[in-house]
Structure 1
Amino acid sequence: MTSSQAQAFEPFEPTPHPYIPNAVPAVRQAMLDAIGAASVEEFYADIPDGIRLHRPLNLPAPLRSEAELTRHMERLLGRNTTTREALSFLGAGCYQHHVPAVVDEIVDRSEFLTAYAGEPYEDHGRFQALWEYQSMMAELLDVEVVNVPVYDGFQAAGTALRMAGRVTGRRRLVIASSVGADELSRIRDYVRPDHDVTVVPVDPATGGADLAAVREALAGGEVAAVYAQAPSALGVIDAGLPDLAELAHAAGALYVVGCNPITLGVLAPPSSYGADIACGDIQPLGIHQSFGGGNAGFIATRDEERLVAEYPSRLFGLVPTEVEGEYGFGDVAYERTSFAQREEGKEWVGTAAALHGIGAGVYLALMGPQGMRDIGDTILRLTAYARARLSQVPGIEVPFGDTPHFADFTVRYTGSRSAAEIRTDLRGHGIFGGVPTGERTAAFCVTEVHTKADIDLLAATLEEIVK
């Protein structure tokens, strides 16, 4: 190699990241000039010092080409292990279900997939597809009104509770059933500073709502809503859900129920036992897990003006056209949304998860009423078998006795090893599950993708590692 050739292979001079526009010094300075800030530090002056990183981000060297970027991302993705590669018993809000191939075929169509938020400049059937989704969800939930999906079930719960606050003009919110820590954190964050959240501990014997404690919490007055889940975060199917409706309404509050929609082929919808607002996540309805993503939230109510007027999200309905007898599909009461009112809106709702709504609509159309009954019955039976089988493992107790569960359930380890240690050992055996919910308690989940042999393998593996 000649000296000139060697010079050609010397390292490049440091350059800004080509995929981060404001990494270019001139661009960064232009942005600061436009907003009147002397420096980036001045721009972020309002961010408390205690939550600042105080060091540069650990970013890779600038990637100069599409090929380099692709290779880098493939290496990162290759570090993941999917729930298809391992035997997974993970649940708690993001579930492993079979997604029929036709669902992916439809949502991958260019008229749905490529537009921002599924929002084309010309409607190529998207509005009708979402109207069909809303209609099938309304039938499943036995209500008249269902929204275009929001980000996820957590936001749907927060929005539903804010809606209740606007309807009643009250401040307090009472959580009456077990709610996952992540969802509770999201609810608290989303409803502040307008609402105070009171969490009522569940009955330790059944895992269901403690009705006496809820009644006491309501006695303080000014309660906007009572919130419960069906099933709860513990997987419990609570026989006290109708009683909560009576308590809420007697106190002048609305009853908001978060539910898993895939249960509704075998369990009664919230509207049938007094819920004013139902909400939840449509991820179980034909949406892939996507490493914890793939979520979209629904909100559902009766067709009452006081409730419909408080939806901040979009609603699609039938609308007349200029041709007599012809109808199209479009927004209903668009003026009530934050899209129309902007900063004057009731609350902010941004990019919707509309594409997931189309996917869920395809899934519901494929399943039909009988399919939803079949899958719900299958999951109920598998859950009962899993709880019974794991209760036979020495060193494991399954709490809440004969209380029926759906998909999610809890176990308690009675030996010397912690839930975190057992989870790590399970992962070493190629099994995901046993997410710690305490020092000696853990959460598991089964769905229709599991078999009796899968559950028996889990039990046999636990027999080896639980001491």
Structure 2
Amino acid sequence: MNRYASNNPFIPHNEEEIIEMMQNIGIRSLEELFRDIPGEFVISKEPDFEGPLSEKEMIKQILSIASKNMTFPKLQLHIGQGAYLRYVPAVVKEILRRSEFLTSYTPYQPEASQGMLTALFEYQSLMAELLGLEIVNSSMYDWSTALAEAGRMAIRLTGKKKILVGRYVFHQRLDTLNTYIEPMGGFIKEIGYTSDGKLKVDDLKQSLDDSAALYVEYPNSLGFITQNIDELADIVHAKGAYFIVGVEPTVLGILKSPGEIGADIAVGEGQSLGLPLSFGGPSLGIFACRDDPKMLRNMPGRLIGMTEDVSGVDRCFAMVLQTREQHIKREKATSNICTNQALMAIGVAAYLALLGKNGLRELAEYILTLTSIAMKKFAELRFVKIPLQGIPHYQEFAYSVSGLTASQLLKKLLEKGIIGGFNISELYPEFGESIVTCFTEVHDLRSVENYVAALTEVVAK
């Protein structure tokens, strides 16, 4: 009997049907469908699985396999670069598990429950206050797609094709931006930095005439704050372009909001606001813009609006302006992203409400202080070199170790139980064999001391 055939009601084809389909497409065996796969990757016989197992035996075996995984807290994690290890309060976890919110698919009907719509409106309101911009959608997939949609929006609004990008933007976000704007004829041009952490203003001015927007990150992927970021909005607006700011939201506990520095559009990653890490997700794309009718009509994503019910007395909520989205012809929609991260947005709203202004400020101050302490301790090691050391850094910074490549350094740190950071030697060769390391609220002074001790041992060997 053909091993792909089955009489199981959940597997749709029996032996005769499979033979008929093979004859119809001119093959004698199903293996012919896979002949393009190199032979060394093909399993030639049935896997020798144990079993069947009882539920108890199966769980025991799965736990045994899972115990081989090495991650936090077994390892000290410092990798960062857009996905950060955060402390997730128990209250946030409980709210995310509530059956009122935890649905199999994101609610997208205009008549979605008032509880869900109210929670999403709260998310929009909290993020608007945090970002200093009036209009916030109820989430995109992640930072990368939010940036990509911001680029497309700027191109639509200006009719210009070039997006200027400050150097040291995380490369995967740039890749996504390029993928999204290329079909529109869009392209990216990079603007460099001076040795004291300022965007090169002369290069910026020379490139702005035919540009739709300038995008900078706050802080960038090396962890430092662009030192002349307050000057950029006026320069960009003078040429009729849009100023897009990508922000790590926890830093807004202590720094000016994107709106206060003149941003037209703000994007970012909401995972930092009380969401866990799990194989690269779940993420939450933040997207906000100024209260401008043209921008409102061109922005992507869902918007929750406040209105009155049929009695005209009670307040209620509804999805609004949906003709911008997937509810019209695809080629006329502002975005082909036809879903969002509603559950994660509710988690972020719960986190921000729990922390409040003071809590967010304390969180940001803690991370800033710990980052500064770590940089100072690392700099005291004679074999460590830290570029841009005199510039304020938040959460991340780059460094290199004499005599070791970035790959060698990361491998040796892993042997000491530390995931040391992210290799940037190919992305930014001007810094040599460097990695970017990260410190968040889950770390403390002992974490810094352990890391420094591991570096000393690595070099001693």
After TM superposition, the score normalised by the length of structure 1 is 0.85
Give the Cα–Cα distance (whole angstroms) in 1 for the partners of residues 296 and 125 of structure 2: 16
CA contact (8 A) 2:197 2:227 kept: no
For 2:19 and 2:293, locate their aligned partners in 1 and report how far apart those are by CA, in whole Å: 50
1:313-357 C-alpha deviation (Å, 9 max, x unpaired)? 101010221012212111121111124444531331122111110
Q: In the TM superposition, what is the alpha-carbon distance from 1:71 to its structure 2 partner?
A: 7.7
d(CA) in 2 for partners of 1:29, 1:166: 52
Question: CA offset at residue 311 of structure 1?
Answer: 1.5
- Residue 258 (structure 2) pairs with residue 267 (structure 1): no
Cα pair distance change 1:364/1:66, threshold 3 Å: farther
Unaligned segments of structure 2, at least 5 residues: 28-35, 426-431
Aligned to 2:307: 319
| Alpha carbons 1:422, 1:466 under 8 Å: kept | no
- Distance in 1 (alpha carbons) for counterparts of 2:65 and 2:280: 16
Among 415, 425, 429, the alignment partner of 2:412 is 425
Q: CA deviation at 1:119?
A: 5.2
Q: Is 1:112 aligned to residue 105 of structure 2?
A: no
Q: Name the SS for the 1:444 alignment partner.
A: strand
Q: Judge conservation of contact 1:173–1:226 (CA < 8 Å) in 2.
A: yes
CA spacing shift, 1:338–1:30, aligned 2, 3 Å: farther
Residue number in structure 1 paired with 2:129: 139
1:218-237 → structure 2 map (5 Å cutoff): 218=208, 221-237=209-225
- Residue 95 of structure 2 aligns to a residue whose secondary structure is helix
Match 2:189 to one of 191, 198, 201: 198
| CA distances 1:221-252 after superposition (whole Å, capped 9, x unpaired) | 32000000000111111121122212211221
Q: Match of 2:162? A: 172
Structure 2 partner of 1:214: 204
After TM superposition, the structure 1 = structure 2 runs for residues 55-204 of structure 1, keeping only pairs within 5 Å, are 77-118=66-107, 123=113, 125-194=115-184, 195-203=186-194
Structure 2 distance, partners of 1:293, 1:24, is: 39
| 1:232 partner amino acid | N
Alpha-carbon distance in 2 for matches of 1:343, 1:25: 44
CA distance in 2, matches of 1:101, 1:30: 56
- 1:398-417 alignment to 2 at 5 Å? 398-413=386-401, 415-417=402-404
Counterpart for residue 446 of structure 2? 453
- Give the 3 Å change call, closer, same or farther, for CA 431–168 of structure 1 in structure 2: same
Distance 1:23 1:183, change over 3 A: farther
For 1:258, what is the secondary structure of its paired residue?
strand
2:246 to 258, 263, 273: 258
**Aligned twin of 2:434:** 441
Deviates more, 1:151-160 or 1:285-294: 285-294
Cα distance in structure 1, aligned partners of 2:202 and 2:155? 24
Call closer, same or farther: CA 1:22–1:152 in 2, change over 3 Å: farther
Count the aligned residue pairs.
438
Find the aligned partners of 1:140 and 1:464 in 2 and give their Cα distance: 43
CA distance in 2, matches of 1:176, 1:125: 41
Question: What SS does the corresponding residue of 1:313 show, helix, strand or coil?
Answer: coil
CA contact (8 A) 1:177 1:229 kept: no
Higher mean alpha-carbon deviation, 315-324 vs 340-349, is at 340-349
Could you tell me the TM-score, scaled by structure 2's length? 0.86
For the structure 1 residues 39 and 90, does the alpha-carbon distance in structure 2 shift closer, same or farther, using more than 3 Å as the test?
A: farther
Tell me the amino acid that sits aligned with residue 92 of structure 2.
V
In 2: Cα distance, 1:405 partner to 1:20 partner: 56
Decide whether aligned partners of structure 1 residues 21 and 297 sit closer, same or farther in structure 2, where only a CA change above 3 A counts.
farther
- Residue identity in the other structure for 1:446: F
When residues 448 and 29 of structure 1 are mapped into structure 2, their CA distance, relative to the original with a 3 A threshold, is farther
1:369 aligns with 2:353: no
